[in-house]
Chain A
Amino acid sequence: DAEITQSPRHKITETGRQVTLACHQTWNHNNMFWYRQDLGHGLRLIHYSYGVQDTNKGEVSDGYSVSRSNTEDLPLTLESAASSQTSVYFCASGTSGSYEQYFGPGTRLTVT
């Protein structure tokens, strides 16, 4: 069955380290999104992509980057992790023109 996966599911890292969170989908969706979820804020959009080689900044993109070298993957990189980036990160994907986004199970990141 087609799916969307995230790895790792849990990560503890130190301030200043570079961290990459993986997102992989097998639906062949063009659109992929990264969100962070913090108490009281719902989900906030970090970066998104509408296709290979396309990346765009979302609402809270500072300190994060993404790259889209193929359809299936959109890794999220924290260049220099900060304690303010402790959060739960969700990846989502969807087809162009579809109203629905399919979410991965999330990655809980703790920056100490």
Chain B
Amino acid sequence: GEDVEQSLFLSVREGDSSVINCTYTDSSSTYLYWYKQEPGAGLQLLTYIFSNMDMKQDQRLTVLLNKKDKHLSLRIADTQTGDSAIYFCAESRDNAGNMLTFGGGTRLMVKP
């Protein structure tokens, strides 16, 4: 199976919180990332977390990492229509964060 797995789709109402989940299999992952892809565009790094951290908060974004369960989540507070995009979880296994393995992406739809 895939090394990094995500659910395909999430729909929320504007103003609600969104939680996008990801599971990974390699316990040696050093960095874990969330990338955002808007239609017709490349990927943009949203945030990342080191494998020795449990949580990271950056404005509306909160990343939670459960190393025991190999589970990563991205919470977007006060979700806006501009947050509609595909969100990719990724892991890297080298210390420099160069070799990325991506999940299949979660399409977030925000309804007004």
Interface residues of A (CB under 8 A from B): 31, 33, 35, 40-45, 48, 50, 90, 92, 94, 96-101, 103-106
Q: Would you list the 5 A-B pairs with minimal beta carbon distance, nearest first?
A: A103-B42, A42-B102, A99-B97, A43-B102, A103-B43
List of B residues within 8 angstroms of A98 by Cβ: 96-97
A96 contacts across to B, CB distance below 8 A: 96
A106 touches B42 (CB 8 A): yes
Distance between B43 CB and nearest chain A CB, rounded to angstroms: 4
The interface bits of chain B over 40-82 (1 if a CB of A lies within 8 angstroms of the residue's CB, else 0) are 1111110010000000000000000000000000000000000
Q: Which residues of B come within 8 Å of A, CB atoms?
A: 2, 4, 8, 31, 33, 40-45, 48, 88, 90, 92, 96-105
Closest A residue to B44 using CB positions: A103
Beta-carbon contact of B42 and A105 below 8 Å: yes
CB <8 Å contact, A100 and B104 = no
| Cβ-defined partner of A42 (8 Å) among B42, B45, B104 | B104
Instruction: Give the distance in Å from the alpha carbon of A92 to the alpha carbon of B98 in the complex.
Output: 11
Partner of A31 from the list B2, B44, B98 (CB cut-off 8 Å) is B98
In the bound complex, CA of A100 to CA of B97 (Å): 7
Minimum distance in angstroms from A95 CB to a CB of chain B: 9
Q: Does A99 lie within 8 Å of B99, measured CB to CB?
A: no
What is the CA–CA distance of A63 and B112 in the complex, to the nearest angstrom?
Answer: 45
Q: How far is the CB of B19 from chain A (nearest CB, A)?
A: 19
| Pairwise interchain contact B42-A99, C-beta atoms closer than 8 A | no
User: Using Cβ atoms and an 8 Å threshold, which residues of chain A touch B102?
Assistant: 35, 42-44
* Cβ–Cβ contact A43 & B41, under 8 A: no
CB distance from B90 to the nearest CB of A (A): 8
Are A90 and B43 in touch, CB under 8 angstroms? yes
Contact check, B98 vs A43: say whether CB atoms are below 8 A apart. no
A51 nearest CB across to chain B (Å) = 12
- Which chain B residues lie closer than 8 Å to A106 at the CB level? 40-42
A40 touches B104 (CB 8 A): yes
Cα distance A36–B102 in the bound complex, in angstroms: 11
